[in-house]
C-alpha cells in the first residue's frame, strides 16, 4: 500500500512530451507508487459488486507464514497480461496539480473551467463538471468554509471517503474493503509521526464541521470513521499516488482490493494508471500458485538503502532474492570511491536547485561534476547516473536539445542493466530520448529508440494505453519521414 506520508519522489524520470521539447514546462515532482505491507482484507473471491473486476478468475487471497496476507495466481499469467483493473473508492487531484488537471477525468489541459464557489475544483468541460457534482457538492461547501486555506491531499481524500460512504450510491462501492479491517498502526509510529497525524486529524474535523458535524450513528460502514486520528492514519497508509502514463503525479486514491499485494525488490507486477483507473500488469510470466508482488520503494538503489527504507517505513526486513545478492551494489559503486562520494554528497544541493527550478545553475553544476569527478567513475555508478539525469532535466528546461540527447543516451544502457524486467521508468526514459532524437531529426536513431520503448511499454502499459498509442504514432511518423527522405 502507498504510505502517503512517505512518498518517494523520482523527479529524474519525467516523460518528455512534444510540448516539453518545444519549451513548455511540465516538470512537477514525480512520485511513483510506494507501498506498505498488506493488511487484512475481506475475501478477494467475493462475488459482490465492486469497483474492480472480479479477482476470482486469476487471483486468490492466501496467507503466508512470513508476510501475512498476499495475492497469488490461480492460473498461468503471461508477461504483459492485464491482471486486474479497478476504480478508486475515493480520490482527489493533488493540490499542486489542481490547476492543470481536470478533477473528474484526470486529463491535463492548459485551460480549465473553475468552480465558481470553492475556486479550487477545475474541469475540462461542462460535461465533466456535471458528472463530478455528486462527489463535489459536499466537498465544495467544505472548501468554501476554509477559504483561502486548502487542506492537504490526505485530509481531502479522507473527507471524500466519508462523503462516498454517506452517498446513497455508495452501495455499489468496493466491498472488498472495510476500514474496520485495516490497521492504523498508530502504536508503532514515532511521536513525530503521531503529532503530524494529529494535526491532520484536527484539520479534518475543521474541514468537515459545517457539512458533516456529526456522522450518522446508524451507518455501520462509518463506524471506523468516527475517530479522525485513526481514519487519517488508515488513509495515509493505504492511499496510492495516481500518476499519468508519463509517471507524473496527478492525485491520490484509495484502491483497497490491491492492498493485499506484498513487496519484492524485483517485483513481477507493476501498476500504471489511465485516468483514475488502476491497471495491474504482469512483467514476467507467473505460474499457478505464484505470489504477485510489486515494489514498495524505488528499486534503483543500494541493498543497504533499500533495506533501511523498508525497515524504517514499513517495519519489515526484506529477504528477497535481490537483497540476498549484493552483485548490483558492486556495479552501482564502481569507480574511484573518492570521486563517487563527491557526486553523492552533491546530490542534495542539486535536488534543491531542481526544486527551485534554478536550471542554469543546475546544468552548470552537473556539467562541472561530470567533467571532473564523473570521469573517474563509469556510467553504471549510481550517483553518476543521478547527476546525469538531472543534467538531462536541466538541459531540456533550457532548450539545450543537443546536450539533452547526449545526456539521455548515456543513461539508456544503465537503465537496461538495472531494470532486467520491463519497467515503466525504463520505457518512459526511452520515449523521452527518442522524442529528443526525433526533434533533432535523427530519424533512424529515434525509430530504433522508440522500438525499444515499445517492447517495454506494451508489457507495462499495454497496447491500448494512451502513452503506447502515442508512441506508435511517433513510430509511424518516423517511418513516413524515412520514406520521404529516401524518395528525394
> For residue 239, what are the contacts with CB-CB under 8 A and spacing of at least 6?
1, 2, 4, 154, 157, 252, 253, 254
Instruction: List the beta bridge partners of residue 253.
Output: 91, 240
CATH H-level superfamily of 56-87+255-299: SET domain (2.170.270.10)
pLDDT for the residue 53: 52
Can you list the positions of beta strands (E) in 286-372? Answer: 293-294
Confidence of residue 8 (pLDDT cuts 50, 70, 90): very low
pLDDT per position as a tens digit, 382-437: 999 999 999 999 999 999 999 999 999 999 999 999 999 999 999 999 999 999 99
- Write the class of the CATH domain 88-239: mainly alpha
Q: Residue 184 has what pLDDT?
A: 66
How does pLDDT run across 182-195, given as a tens digit for each residue?
666 677 777 888 88
Q: What is the pLDDT of residue 20?
A: 36
Q: Which three cell numbers stand for residue 90?
A: 475515493
Instruction: State residue 316's pLDDT score.
Output: 81
pLDDT at 74: 95
The share of the chain scoring above pLDDT 90, in percent, equals: 61
For residue 164, what pLDDT is reported?
A: 86
What's the pLDDT at 1? 46
407 versus 486: the higher-pLDDT residue is: 407
The whole-chain average pLDDT of the chain stands at 84
Q: Are 150 and 120 in contact (CB under 8 A)?
A: yes
CATH of domain 419-487: 1.25.40.10
Crossing angle of helices 191-208 and 228-238, rounded to 10°: 110
Q: What is the mean pLDDT of residues 299-310?
A: 91
Q: Is the dihedral of CA 108, 87, 241, 452 positive or negative?
A: negative
From 159-173, 277-291, 456-470, the region with the lowest mean pLDDT: 159-173
Task: State residue 231's pLDDT score.
Answer: 87
Q: Long-range contacts of range 113-119, CB-CB < 8 Å, 24 or more positions apart? A: 115/140, 117/144, 118/143, 118/144, 118/147, 119/143, 119/147
Is pLDDT larger for residue 129 or for residue 68? 129
pLDDT band, very low/low/confident/very high, at 317 (cuts 50, 70, 90): confident
Per-residue pLDDT at 21 exceeds 60: no
More reliable by pLDDT, 28 or 66: 66
Q: How many CB atoms lie within 10 A of CB 329?
A: 15
Residue-range domain boundaries for the chain: 56-87+255-299, 88-239, 330-413, 419-487
The correct answer on CATH 1.25.40.970 for the domain covering 330-413 is yes
Distance, CA of 422 to CA of 428 (rounded, Å): 11
Q: Which residues of 10-43 are buried (b: 16+ CB within 10 A; e: fewer)?
A: bbbbbbbbeebbeeeeebbebbbbbbbbbbebbe
> Do 419-487 and 88-239 have the same topology in CATH?
no
Number of separate helices (H) and strands (E) present in the chain: 14, 12
Q: Over the Cα atoms of the chain, what is R_g?
A: 23
DSSP string over 4-29: GGGPPB-TT-----HHHHTT------
Amino acid at each position: 500500500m502507498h504510505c502517503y506520508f512517505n512518498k518517494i519522489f523520482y523527479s529524474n524520470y519525467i516523460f518528455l512530451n512534444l510540448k516539453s521539447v518545444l519549451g513548455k514546462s511540465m516538470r512537477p515532482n514525480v512520485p511513483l507508487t510506494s507501498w506498505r505491507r498488506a493488511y487484512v482484507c475481506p475475501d478477494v473471491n467475493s462475488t459482490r459488486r465492486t469497483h474492480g473486476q472480479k479477482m476470482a478468475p486469476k487471483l486468490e487471497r492466501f496467507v503466508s507464514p512470513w508476510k501475512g496476507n498476499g495475492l497469488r495466481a490461480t492460473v498461468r499469467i503471461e508477461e504483459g497480461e492485464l491482471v486486474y483493473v479497478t476504480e478508486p473508492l475515493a480520490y482527489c487531484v493533488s493540490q499542486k496539480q489542481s490547476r492543470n488537471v481536470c478533477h473528474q477525468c484526470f486529463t491535463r489541459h492548459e485551460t480549465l473551467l473553475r468552480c465558481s464557489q470553492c475556486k479550487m475544483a477545475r474541469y475540462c468541460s461542462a460535461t465533466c463538471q456535471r458528472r463530478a457534482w455528486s462527489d463535489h457538492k459536499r466537498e465544495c461547501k467544505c472548501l468554501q468554509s476554509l477559504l483561502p486555506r486548502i487542506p492537504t491531499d490526505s485530509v481531502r481524500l479522507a473527507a471524500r471517503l466519508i462523503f462516498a460512504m454517506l452517498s446513497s450510491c455508495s452501495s455499489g462501492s468496493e466491498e472488498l474493503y472495510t476500514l474496520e479491517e485495516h490497521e492504523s498502526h498508530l502504536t508503532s509510529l514515532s511521536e513525530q509521526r503521531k503529532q503530524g497525524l494529529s494535526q491532520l486529524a484536527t484539520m479534518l474535523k475543521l474541514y468537515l464541521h459545517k457539512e458533516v458535524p456529526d456522522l450518522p450513528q446508524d451507518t455501520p460502514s462509518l463506524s471506523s470513521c468516527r475517530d479522525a486520528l485513526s481514519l487519517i492514519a488508515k488513509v495515509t497508509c493505504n492511499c496510492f499516488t495516481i500518476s499519468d502514463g508519463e509517471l507524473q503525479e496527478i492525485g491520490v486514491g484509495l484502491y483497497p482490493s490491491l492492498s493485499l499485494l506484498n513487496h519484492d525488490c524485483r517485483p513481477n507486477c507493476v501498476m500504471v494508471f489511465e485516468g483514475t483507473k488502476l491497471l495491474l500488469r504482469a512483467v514476467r510470466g507467473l505460474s499457478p500458485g505464484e505470489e504477485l508482488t510489486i515494489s514498495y520503494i524505488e528499486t534503483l538503489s543500494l541493498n543497504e538503502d533499500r533495506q533501511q527504507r523498508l525497515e524504517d517505513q514499513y517495519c519489515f526486513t526484506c529477504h528477497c532474492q535481490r537483497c540476498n545478492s549484493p552483485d548490483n551494489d558492486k556495479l552501482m559503486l564502481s569507480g574511484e570511491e573518492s570521486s563517487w562520494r563527491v557526486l553523492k554528497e552533491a546530490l542534495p544541493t542539486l535536488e534543491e536547485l531542481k526544486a527551485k527550478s534554478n536550471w542554469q545553475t543546475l546544468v552548470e553544476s552537473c556539467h562541472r561534476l561530470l567533467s571532473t569527478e564523473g570521469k573517474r567513475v563509469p556510467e553504471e555508478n549510481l550517483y553518476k547516473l543521478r547527476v546525469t539525469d538531472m543534467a538531462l532535466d536541466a538541459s531540456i528546461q533550457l532548450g539545450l536539445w543537443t546536450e539533452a540527447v547526449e545526456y539521455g543516451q548515456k543513461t539508456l544502457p544503465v537503465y537496461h542493466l538495472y531494470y532486467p524486467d520491463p519497467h515503466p521508468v525504463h520505457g518512459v526514459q526511452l520515449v523521452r530520448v527518442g522524442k529528443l532524437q526525433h526533434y533533432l531529426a535523427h530519424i533512424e536513431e529515434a525509430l530504433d529508440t522508440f522500438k525499444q520503448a515499445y517492447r517495454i511499454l506494451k508489457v507495462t502499459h499495454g497496447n491500448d494505453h494512451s502513452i503506447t498509442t502515442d508512441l506508435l504514432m511517433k513510430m509511424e511518423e518516423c517511418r513516413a519521414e524515412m520514406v520521404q527522405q529516401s524518395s528525394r
